[in-house]
Amino acid sequence: MGRPMKRHECLKEIAGTVGDALVVVCVGGTSSEWNAYRPSDGNLRCWTLGLTSSVALGMALGLPHRQVIALDGDGSLLMNLCGLPTIMRKKPKNLIHVVFDNGVYESSGGTKTATAEGVDFVAVARGVGIKNAFGADTVEEFKKLFADALARREHTFICARVEPGRGEVPPWPWPDVENKYRFTRHIEQTEGVSILQARIPGSWKKS
């Protein structure tokens, strides 16, 4: 199967279009590339293989007025295929789920995934009842599908079939816990809410 486009080209094309969207990105090349093209405290890196789309679903349900984007990989989605029907049941209007299908477990050395043998994620997504499920093979197609998804305001699934390989970008900058604090403070600032408070000592005098 021909895979004429690269993941980092796709990410570069959409980076300027997402506004203040919250973006959950799976660990590995995708997270470094995304954060290089769209540096933001609204980016969260997911370390658990499979949970990128689930973390994004939790955000989308928790902040239904805010656009949330999951940047997933094929190895990750294969680990948590059952997350697709769960997203379908909740139909989060503010969630765009992108999977970059490069046919390999890139972060663990390049072994083939099942998609290299013909698994069709778009057919899987449609099969579980996700109405807006689309595939892209060129950067132009991907860019168009993503722009349509942003405008649609319904849950959308996009599978971008890409060739393996990473962009020439710096590594992901933050340790996990710092990423969490930066992300949560970003939510507090942009949503005007208080999530994390320091505990007040018992000796503190109430005035």
Q: Which residues bind Mg ion (CB under 5 A)?
A: 73-75, 102, 106
User: Cβ of residue 105: shortest distance to Mg ion, in angstroms?
Assistant: 6
Cβ atoms of 57 and 87 within 8 Å: the answer is yes
Q: What angle do CA 48, 150, 98 make, to 5 degrees?
A: 30
User: Cβ of residue 115: shortest distance to Mg ion, in angstroms?
Assistant: 8
Q: What share of the chain is helix, strand, coil (3-state, %, to 5)?
A: 40, 20, 40
Residue listed under structure tokens 């590594």:
171
Which of 17, 86, 108, 189 touches another protein (CB under 8 A)? 86
User: Cβ of residue 62: shortest distance to another protein, in angstroms?
Assistant: 4
First to last CA, the chain: 71
Nearer to Mg ion, 75 or 83 (CB): 75
Site for another protein in 19-58 (CB under 8 A): 22, 24, 44, 46-58
User: Cβ of residue 206: shortest distance to another protein, in angstroms?
Assistant: 19
- Count of beta carbons in the 10 Å neighbourhood of residue 97: 30
Helices 83-90 and 52-62, packing angle to 10 deg = 20
Residues 114-153, one symbol each (x = binds another protein by CB under 8 A, - = not), give ----------------------------------------
Strand partners, 23: 43, 69
In the complex, the residues that contact another protein under the rule CB under 8 A are 22, 24, 44, 46-63, 66, 80, 82-83, 85-86, 89-90, 176-177, 179-180, 183-184, 187-188, 191, 193, 195, 199
